[in-house]
A and B are shown apart, each in its own frame.
Chain A
Amino acid sequence: MLLIQDIHAETDGKKILKGVNLEIKAGEVHAIMGPNGSGKSTLALVLAGREEYEVTQGRITFFGKNLLELSPEDRAHEGMFLAFQYPVEIPGVSTTQFIKTAVNENRKYHGEAPLDAVAFLKLMKEKMRLVDMDQSLLTRSMNEGFSGGEKKRNEIFQMAMLEPSLAILDETDSGLDIDALRIVAKGVNTLRNENRAILLITHYQRLLEYIVPDFVHVLYNGQIVRSGTKDLALELEEKGYDFIREESESSVSATQPENISKT
């Protein structure tokens, strides 16, 4: 489904990704872990097409298409979904209105007629149950005045509505209490099936107790330095990131660790 080959990316002249390779197949759940500043969120934003990040080398194919040539909205139309680490507020635009626009834009791309009000409402009711979404949030302005947990739930709710092939969850667990985390995980697990892949980006192992990954990768200093199964996450939990640091510094001596503020 997704094939990332030797991706290098930079922003403001600062190199952040330095040769990432990753393949994700339908039905798989991958987790990318790593310390702050390792480039995890950059990878998510590069996949989604944020213009601030310039890809200087490498290629990415998504269902065989050259992903880097697609606009952010076409990547979405092709089935890529990013649950944002910091969901954005859009004053005056109700959550319903926003999602309806998104759903119908996606349908338009695939040559489908827009959903009428009744069908849309029915679909929304059904998906709301998945994430225990409160009805009142739907009429409020998009993310405006939402708590951290409400914002994250709203992300998962949109994911449920848009039914993507590849869902990238960027630090969806950050700032969530345990109840909210369970709800979010339940939403994600319900959507998990053999046609859909999920890429979890997280700093902590905690989320992986609820959404069990098939593969775990460690991103460090812009490269994937270790890959393994969920046991790798446990190992990281136990030893911390320091052992990765030591390990990679001895093996990848050419690249000096940099202090990267933006992840």
Chain B
Amino acid sequence: MKDELSTLQQTVLKDYKYGFVTDIETDTVPKGLNEDVIRLISAKKKEPDWMLEWRLKAYAGWLKMEEPKWPNVAYPPIDYQDIIYYAAPQQKPSLNSIDDLDPELKRTFDKLGISLEEQKRLSGVAVDVVMDSVSVATSFKKQLEEIGIIFCSMGEAIQNHPELVKKYLGSVVPMTDNYFAALNSAVFTDGSFCYIPKGVRCPMELSTYFRINAENTGQFERTLIIAEDESYVSYLEGCTAPMRDENQLHAAVVELVALEKAEIKYSTVQNWYPGDKEGHGGIYNFVTKRGICQGYRSKISWTQVETGSAITWKYPSVILKGDSSIGEFYSIALTNNYQQADTGTKMIHLGKNTKSRIVSKGISAGFSNNSYRGLVRASKWATNARNYSQCDSLLLGDRCGAHTFPYIEVKNNSSVVEHEATTSKIGEDQLFYCKQRGIDSETAVALIVNGFAREVMNQLPMEFAVEAQKLLAINLEGSVG
């Protein structure tokens, strides 16, 4: 049994491969947070006055708020004055094309498996790359522009599309929605902006790759996606960070707006540095993600594979406002060593005939704690609302915890809500069966874990699914049928 356990441990204890640091000059602001720092960030980004005012208002709100204590996670107090709120890799101002990118940066992203060479990319994924506080490159921009799609950094959007930003920024996640959203609203530095015009089906996956590189910094990116009537976009997000002993704060906000018959599919593979085996270091990932199905028959689908971060606190949610709109949440959360995850979703049914589906697969190993927390609310007006939720937990070893906290609130009598949850472990008999077929423990565990997570994996775009499988520490060489 002991051997078995250690094999299980080793299997999920694959070392973090993205922990290197890029040696590049960085432009930073002084440590700490006050109005002057916010003004400095805004000035560095050459923002218009309205943006600065918005930030200062959020900051004033944040000062009055308290850090939430309800998540099932524990960490020492964060010193918000000990964080650098802006760090940008120094490079030539204004890039004309990816070719102008600093070679060191390019090497970094090659190392991370992100090829920025447009012509080399077969799958046709447009990438916006955010390093520390700023966007460093966006590919396929021109091709997308031709069909009216705006895909750029948030900084550029504020400069070039102020009317869209003003209209939608903070419309889904109000600036003082919660403590970390308020902090983000005050100090966000960059992120991706994406606008799909009416009737356009985005021909390629849009993707943002987030990388924390600089020391002592927090990353506060802000993403906004607007899908006009009858449009479609699939958006991918990936992230990594160097291995450091200190904890670094990542407090992002993502807002999605889907108008009539529009569909947004948002996939995340979150692989921030999780800390070492003793629980030192790692990213505090406190993220607010929310989408609104504004229009009739609109659809928002969140898919997430959460394997990194010391602490994850996020609940990608959907407000189902438009009649007959659909919200989906598919999640795999793997925690190991001393990682803590408190993640789930909120499905707020406001419109008639709205539907939502939640599939959550939690995998706990080592000394970790993994919680699903979700809310399904059918308001009085949400007649015929439907929700189905399935939350399964898999425990590897007996020092970890798996928890489920679903909240279900139904206020009309035509809605149907169903919730199911199970907890299980990898059976000795399953392992022995695999071994008898010549499959060693490590591969067997990977196979079984992958099977457990399959329903969610199937939701990921092909390219991401492959990365996600690797991330689940699964050696699936040749076994994909």
Contact = CB atoms under 8 A, between A and B. Distances in A.
- Do chains A and B make direct contact within the complex (CB under 8 angstroms)? yes
B435 A93 contact: no
Interface string B87-100: 00000000000000
Given A92-B453, A92-B455, A104 B478 contact: yes
A102 B479 CA distance: 8
Given A88-B429, A97-B480, A102 B451 contact: no
Interface in A72-109: 72-73, 75-77, 81-82, 84, 87-94, 96-102, 104-106, 109
B454 interface: yes
Given A87-B433, A88-B433, A94 B438 contact: no
B451 A105 contact: no
Nearest to B481: A96
Given A92-B452, A101-B447, A162 B438 contact: yes
B405 interface: no
A73 B451 contact: no
Interface size class of A (residues with CB under 8 A): 35 or more
Interface in B436-481: 436-441, 443, 447-448, 450-455, 476-481
B171 interface: no
Contacts of B479: 97-98, 100-101, 104
A58 B123 CA distance: 60
A82 B436 CA distance: 7
A48 interface: yes
A200 B430 CA distance: 23
Given A88-B427, A105-B440, A50 B432 contact: yes
A141 interface: yes
A110 B438 CA distance: 12
A90 B435 contact: no
B438 A91 contact: no
A162 B437 contact: yes
A115 interface: yes
Contacts of A81: 436
Interface string A132-173: 000000110110000000000000001000100000000000
A27 interface: no
Among A51, A75, A139, chain B packs the most CB atoms within 10 A around the CB of A51
Contacts of A39: none
A141 B448 CA distance: 11
B338 to A, nearest CB: 27
A89 B452 CA distance: 12
Contact of B439 (A73, A91, A92): A73
Given A104-B479, A114-B478, A92 B450 contact: yes
Given A50-B432, A97-B480, A90 B447 contact: yes
Contact of B438 (A76, A97, A139): A76
B430 A158 contact: no
Nearest to A142: B451
B455 A101 contact: no
Interface in A116-145: 138-139, 141-142
A71 interface: yes
Contacts of B480: 97, 100
A249 B479 CA distance: 52
A24 B453 CA distance: 43
Contact of B448 (A48, A49, A90, A115): A90
Contacts of B448: 90, 93
A89 B451 CA distance: 11
Interface size class of B (residues with CB under 8 A): 20 to 34
Contacts of A90: 430, 433-434, 447-448, 451
Nearest to A139: B481
A182 to B, nearest CB: 25
Nearest to B454: A92
A14 to B, nearest CB: 18
Contacts of B478: 100-101, 104, 114-115
Contacts of B432: 48, 50-51, 72, 88
Contact of A104 (B429, B436, B452, B477): B477
B438 A102 contact: yes
A67 to B, nearest CB: 13
A97 B437 contact: no
Contacts of B433: 84, 87-88, 90
A89 B476 CA distance: 19
B438 A73 contact: yes
Nearest to B446: A101
B240 to A, nearest CB: 27
B437 A158 contact: yes
Nearest to B426: A90
A97 B447 contact: yes
Among B427, B430, B437, B452, chain A packs the most CB atoms within 10 A around the CB of B437
Contact of A98 (B429, B447, B477): B447
Contacts of A72: 432, 435-436
Contacts of B453: 92
A94 B447 CA distance: 10
Contact of A141 (B436, B439, B451): B451
B327 to A, nearest CB: 24
Interface string A14-54: 00000000000000000000000000000000001111000
A93 B451 CA distance: 4
Contacts of A138: 481
A109 B432 CA distance: 18
A115 B478 CA distance: 8
B438 A77 contact: yes
A82 B437 CA distance: 8
Contacts of B447: 90, 93, 97-98, 101
A142 B432 CA distance: 14
A142 B436 CA distance: 15
Given A90-B451, A93-B447, A100 B440 contact: no
Interface of A: 48-51, 71-73, 75-77, 81-82, 84, 87-94, 96-102, 104-106, 109, 114-115, 138-139, 141-142, 158, 162
Interface of B: 427, 429-430, 432-441, 443, 447-448, 450-455, 476-481
Given A89-B430, A138-B481, 18 more contacts: A48-B436, A73-B441, A76-B435, A76-B437, A76-B438, A90-B447, A92-B451, A92-B455, A93-B451, A97-B479, A97-B481, A102-B434, A102-B437, A105-B439, A105-B440, A114-B478, A115-B478, A162-B438
10 contacts: A71-B435, A87-B433, A92-B453, A92-B454, A98-B437, A101-B447, A101-B478, A104-B479, A141-B451, A142-B451
